[in-house]
């Protein structure tokens, strides 16, 4: 990519705000971790979280470079407003999770989602899912978050050109020019490569340090602070972007935006659209979204730490309501950036949001937005780290290596696991620079495990006599089937296979989900359980309060209304 970015000249106020915010976050995380004495304190914050903390933390841990870099970049590209489907459909998914899944999980008294599979099937299914989740966190979530954050840092501080000057490396513009003439430039000679690596390790070390020490309490409270900052900061970017189009008037700017970009303001794409065909909205997109919000330890750990089922459900409903707002501060700025820069910078893509910050915000606000972007990256990264260390400690280490480990021992193992997870994530993150857009990367990679895991959960909940062997086979064969759907032409050199592999990854995810369900039902017919599998039940009150039903219904109605209006 050519050098398209204006260098941001940071004022002293910008720097004070940015570093002051980062210091404040670290201090709060250390304060929150002061009461960590047991594994339940460290991994589940003592199971005493209230609904505002849960709701804001869910959103803060979800919003990251995947949004402000990847999703905004997708909106800048040919997807436009349609990419908001990942947010608005997620709002409905959150409602369903709060209504139906969360009471089941809290009633079972589990620490981790893989634990539920052991109760429902057998220890093997728990181990397989735990392994899958650890792998997907490292090569998917961690890599995406770290790489996206490094891209933002490079864009905001023009780090590539600084590296070229400091270390005698090849500037990005020269790399592009020489590669256009057929030359192959080694990455080790490229300033942009080393700038990205430096940004990755900087984020990893800072976020990893306070997460390893503080566990979930530190993550929750820093998420709360960063989540508020993100929502306010994103709203300010939207305001200044629209006002910029209107030459000082927000309303004139909004009219200019809707008139110029109307072709991008549609939620429904053609059936042959590679990323978001309308057919995928009916079925395929629900698989990664329900998995992410309902079966992903990274997300559900907050709800599992609720002091009651009702508090957890109210927190999930708050997150669902905020999901309806997020496209306004993530997707719309990407379309506005396209309107502003597309003619001169058609390949801006994932750097659209940082460029907008650099070019339209007044100097006194840049430090705040830098803090918001840093918060977005670190909230997601530290949440994923805590979830992954929880899964490793509870589902892998305690089960296979040290069954008699004490509660304090679990806390120590969790901290050590966090350090190693940071190292693995930082080493892998530069690899995803080879993919076209980090948002697409994370969604495609996740479907290797999300589709088969979701099928195993859903089928097991529907039929209490489904045998464990069916779940084991489903979890093993599911990723293989998805791999054939995506890369089958490497084994079968036929035109029909190449055409099939070119389908949307969401269609392939649906095929995997159905295939795993069919495999499980066949095995169930051959060897059903002799009696219904009974799940453990705690003494918690699992009744859904009236306000949760009402709020969830409103979220669903608003989402349906948005699709009818913007189709």
Domains of the chain, start order: 12-108+123-400+412-534+542-566 (1.20.1730.10)
- In tens, the pLDDT along 447-501 reads 999 999 999 999 999 999 999 999 999 999 999 999 999 888 888 888 888 888 8
Residue 474's pLDDT is what?
96
Q: What is the residue whose two structure tokens read 């990256």? A: 377
Cα(81)–Cα(75) distance, rounded to whole angstroms?
6
Residue 1's pLDDT is what?
32
| Range among 15-19, 161-165, 531-535, 555-559 with highest mean pLDDT value | 555-559
Least confident of 348-352, 414-418, 552-556: 348-352
Per the model's pLDDT, the better-predicted residue between 134 and 210 turns out to be 134
Residue 510's pLDDT is what?
93
pLDDT at 4 over 60: no
Q: What is the residue whose two structure tokens read 């693995």? A: 424
Structure tokens at 475: 């979890």
What is the average pLDDT value for the chain, to the nearest integer?
Answer: 83
Structure tokens at 123: 């220890």
- Asked if 217 and 225 count as a contact pair (C-beta separation under 8 A), the reply is no
Cα(158)–Cα(145) distance, rounded to whole angstroms?
19
Residue 517's pLDDT is what?
96
Four-residue CA torsion sign, 49, 53, 58, 63: negative
Helical residues (DSSP H) of 63-142, grouped into ranges: 65, 72-76, 85-96, 102-108, 113-120, 123-136
pLDDT at 537 over 50: yes
Cα(381)–Cα(385) distance, rounded to whole angstroms?
6
Q: What are phi and psi of 181, to 5 degrees?
A: -90, 10
Query: Following CA atoms 524, 525, 528, 531 in sequence, which dihedral angle do they give, to the nearest 10 degrees?
Result: 120
Q: How many CB atoms are located within 10 Å of the residue 457 CB?
A: 22
- In tens, the pLDDT along 365-406 reads 777 777 767 777 777 788 888 888 989 998 999 888 888 888
Helices 352-360 and 363-391, packing angle to 10 deg: 150
The answer to whether the pTM exceeds 0.85 is no
- In tens, the pLDDT along 495-527 reads 888 888 888 888 899 999 999 999 999 999 999
Residue 120's pLDDT is what?
92
- Asked if 444 and 438 count as a contact pair (C-beta separation under 8 A), the reply is no
Helices 407-428 and 143-157, packing angle to 10 deg: 50
Q: What is the residue whose two structure tokens read 């594994």? A: 39
Q: pLDDT band for 559, please (50, 70, 90 cuts).
A: very high
pLDDT at 32 over 60: yes
| First-last CA distance in the chain | 33
Structure tokens at 392: 């490793």
Radius of gyration (C-alpha) of the chain in whole angstroms? 23
- In tens, the pLDDT along 153-187 reads 776 677 788 888 888 888 877 877 777 787 887 77
């Amino acid at each position: 990519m050519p050098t398209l970015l204006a260098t941001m000249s940071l004022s002293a106020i910008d720097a004070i705000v940015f570093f002051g915010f980062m210091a404040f976050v670290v201090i709060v995380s250390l304060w929150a971790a002061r009461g960590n004495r047991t594994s339940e304190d460290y991994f589940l914050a003592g199971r005493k979280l209230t609904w505002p903390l849960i709701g804001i933390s869910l959103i803060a841990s979800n919003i990251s470079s995947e949004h402000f870099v990847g999703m905004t970049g997708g909106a800048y590209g040919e997807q436009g407003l349609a990419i908001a489907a990942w947010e608005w459909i997620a709002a409905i998914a959150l409602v369903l999770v709060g209504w139906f899944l969360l009471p089941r999980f809290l009633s079972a008294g589990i620490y981790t989602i893989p634990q539920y599979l052991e109760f429902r099937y057998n220890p093997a299914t728990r181990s397989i899912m735990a392994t899958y989740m650890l792998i997907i966190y490292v090569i998917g979530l961690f890599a995406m978050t770290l790489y996206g954050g490094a891209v933002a840092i490079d864009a905001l501080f023009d780090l590539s050109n600084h590296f070229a000057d400091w270390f005698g490396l090849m500037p990005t513009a020269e790399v592009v020019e020489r590669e256009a003439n057929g030359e192959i430039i080694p990455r080790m000679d490229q300033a942009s490569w080393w700038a990205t690596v430096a940004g990755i390790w900087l984020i990893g070390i800072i976020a990893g340090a306070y997460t390893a020490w503080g566990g979930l309490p530190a993550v929750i409270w820093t998420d709360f602070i960063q989540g508020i900052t993100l929502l306010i900061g994103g709203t300010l970017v939207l305001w200044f972007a629209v006002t910029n189009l209107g030459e000082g008037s927000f309303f004139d700017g909004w009219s200019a935006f809707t008139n110029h970009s109307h072709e991008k303001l549609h939620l429904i794409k053609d059936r042959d659209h590679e990323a978001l065909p309308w057919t995928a909205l009916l079925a395929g997109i629900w698989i990664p979204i329900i998995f992410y919000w309902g079966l992903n330890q990274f997300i559900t750990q907050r709800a599992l730490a609720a002091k009651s089922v009702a508090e957890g459900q109210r927190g999930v409903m708050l997150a669902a309501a905020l999901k309806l707002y997020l496209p306004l501060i993530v997707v719309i700025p990407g379309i506005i950036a396209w309107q502003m820069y597309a003619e001169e910078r058609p390949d801006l893509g994932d750097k659209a949001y940082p460029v907008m910050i650099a070019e339209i915000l007044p100097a006194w606000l840049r430090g705040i937005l830098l803090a918001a972007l840093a918060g977005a990256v670190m909230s997601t990264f530290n949440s994923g780290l805590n979830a992954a260390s929880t899964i490793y400690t509870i589902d892998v280490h305690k089960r296979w290596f040290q069954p008699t480990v004490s509660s304090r021992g679990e806390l120590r193992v969790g901290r050590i696991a966090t350090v190693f997870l940071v190292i693995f994530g930082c080493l892998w993150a530069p690899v995803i620079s080879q993919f076209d857009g980090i948002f697409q990367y994370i969604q495609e990679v996740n479907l290797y495990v999300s589709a088969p895991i979701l099928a195993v959960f859903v089928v097991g909940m529907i039929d209490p006599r489904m045998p464990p062997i069916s779940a084991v086979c489903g979890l093993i064969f599911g990723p293989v089937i998805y791999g054939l759907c995506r890369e089958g032409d490497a084994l079968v050199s036929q035109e029909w296979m190449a055409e099939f592999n070119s389908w949307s990854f969401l269609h392939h995810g649906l095929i995997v989900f159905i295939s795993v369900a069919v495999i499980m039902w066949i095995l169930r017919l051959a060897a059903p359980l002799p009696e219904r599998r009974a799940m453990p039940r705690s003494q918690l009150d699992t009744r859904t309060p009236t306000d949760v039903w009402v709020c969830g219904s409103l979220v669903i109605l608003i989402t349906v209304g948005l699709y009818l209006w913007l189709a």
